[in-house]
Amino acid sequence: MTAASYWSELVASLIPEGEPDPDLFQLTLAGFHILCLSATSLVIRGLEIKVLAQLGYTPLLEQCVSCGQKLTENPMITFSVKHGGVMCTVCSNKAALQNLCNFSHEALNIWQQLIKMDLSKIHRLRITARALSILDEVIEEFLIAQLDYPLKSRPILKKMLSAAEE
């Protein structure tokens, strides 16, 4: 119930009022369905990523948002909420520390897979607890930046998920 409340708040906060969007409606229904089956942290991160992508809020993930360098060449990466994408080590060292989140190649790969992946196959992904935590933090900060406010139901959902996963 908590996950469904969060999903409702997220979708309602992101969509423009009064504009019909059949694809978003289908995603919203699919989200409710998958949450009935499995309301895990990974499923919720997947839904967040899917709705962001559907509405055109996908951050730049293939290369450094500042210099354009391919990230495979950099062992360390960060996520810049302010700039809307990942940053290489060199650029993140130059940038102000404001709105920079630690990121990892695993979290990056999972994000990229979740954009393309069918919702029914999310349970097939394997992700470490660290990468899932990184995704949670980055998506939360990214959502706040896009909405200009935090979602009220997200902290409650986080508490419930952490209690359920212990």
| Alpha-carbon distances of 151 from 8, 13, 105, 127, 128, rounded to whole Å | 11, 8, 27, 25, 25
Mean pLDDT of 17-43: 91
Q: In terms of residue numbers, what domain contains 56? A: 2-164
Compute how many other C-beta atoms are within 10 angstroms of the C-beta atom of residue 30: 15
**Which tokens hold the place of 69?**
């360098």
Mean pLDDT of the chain: 89
pTM of the model: 0.90
**Which tokens hold the place of 57?**
């809020």
Q: Which residue has the higher pLDDT, 91 or 13?
A: 13
Predicted confidence at residue 96, as pLDDT, reads 64
Predicted confidence at residue 92, as pLDDT, reads 81
Q: Which residue has the higher pLDDT, 76 or 38?
A: 38
Residue 22 neighbours by CB under 8 Å, 6+ apart: none
* pLDDT tens-digit series, residues 83-138: 899 988 888 887 765 668 889 889 999 999 999 999 889 988 999 999 999 999 99
Query: How many distinct structural domains can be found in the chain?
Result: 1
pLDDT > 70 in the chain, percent: 94
**Which tokens hold the place of 160?**
């419930």
| Alpha-carbon distances of 62 from 65, 72, 77, 86, 159, rounded to whole Å | 9, 9, 12, 8, 32
Residue 12 belongs to a domain with what CATH number?
Answer: 1.20.1440.120
